[in-house]
């Protein structure tokens, strides 16, 4: 498990005074400010974060070291990470997406189906993007309790009961 969890991303500038547009990936979007300072993916650069107001699809925010519109434009695409120990612990049936990526996926008979490449959410529910040597294309497995009854982070495996014909 990674020590850094992605909690947000910069989607561009907001206005002309150096504010950025921020997308929060937190369950309670405003909580991203409480995890400040945040870092880049490598953990090398640290950024203080102050939310200034809510805007459509996110927040306007001040990011440490960003003072001009040009700097805010240059920060577009920057993913912001918090240390795992800053984040709340989760109930037994909830997981950080970063913890699921890389886990092997087995069917209920013990056959290897593939490995989780990413976790997506397009509004209705999370989908696990599964890749594997026996798969011709990517398989999107719904991440529901009925289809994924077991997630074992210690063993690094997921047991799934996929619908017929999915694999």
pLDDT tens digits, 123-159 = 778 899 999 888 888 999 999 999 999 999 889 999 9
pLDDT digits (tens, 9 = 90+) for 45-63: 999 999 999 999 899 999 9
| 90 found inside a domain | no
Phi-psi region of 11 (alpha: psi -120 to 50; beta: other; left: phi over 0): alpha
111: domain CATH number? 2.30.30.240
Same domain, 107 and 80: no
Structural domains in the chain (count): 2
Range of the domain at 49: 4-85
* pLDDT over 70 (residue 13): yes
3-state secondary structure of 78: coil
Dist CA 102 CA 116 (whole Å): 5
* pLDDT over 80 (residue 2): no
Alpha helices in 17-126 (DSSP H): 69-74, 97-100
| Amino acid 1: pLDDT | 47
| 92 found inside a domain | no
pLDDT digits (tens, 9 = 90+) for 105-115: 999 999 999 99
Please, which pLDDT band fits residue 43 given cuts at 50, 70 and 90? Answer: confident
């Amino acid at each position: 498990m990674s020590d850094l969890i992605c909690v947000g991303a910069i989607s561009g500038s907001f206005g002309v005074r150096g504010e950025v547009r921020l997308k929060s990936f937190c369950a309670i979007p405003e909580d991203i400010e409480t995890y400040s300072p945040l870092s880049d993916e490598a953990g090398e650069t640290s950024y203080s974060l102050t939310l200034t107001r809510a805007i459509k699809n996110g927040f306007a925010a001040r990011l440490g070291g960003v003072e001009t519109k040009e700097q805010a434009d240059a920060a577009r695409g920057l993913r912001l990470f918090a240390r795992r120990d800053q984040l709340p612990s989760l109930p037994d049936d909830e997981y950080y997406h970063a913890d699921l990526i890389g886990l092997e996926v087995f069917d209920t008979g013990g056959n290897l189906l593939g490995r989780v490449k990413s976790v997506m959410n397009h509004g209705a529910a999370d989908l696990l993007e599964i890749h594997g040597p026996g798969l011709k294309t990517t398989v999107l497995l719904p991440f529901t309790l009925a289809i994924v009854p077991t997630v074992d982070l210690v063993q690094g495996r997921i047991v799934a009961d996929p619908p017929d014909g999915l694999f």
